[in-house]
Amino acid sequence: MTEKTMAERIAEELLKERLPDTIKVSTPGQPTVKKEAKVAKSPLIKAKLYYDVKVECMLPATVTFRILAEDAEQAAGLIRGASPIAVKHRLLGRKDHKITVCEAGSSMIKWVKNLIGM
Sequential pLDDT tens for the chain (118 residues): 456 777 777 777 776 665 555 555 566 666 555 555 565 676 788 788 788 887 778 888 888 889 888 888 888 888 888 888 988 988 888 888 888 888 888 777 778 888 776 5
Q: What is the pLDDT of residue 1?
A: 43
Buried b (16+ CB within 10 A) or exposed e, 86-115: eeeeeeeeeeeeeeeebeeeeeeeeeeeee
For the entire predicted model, the pTM comes to 0.42
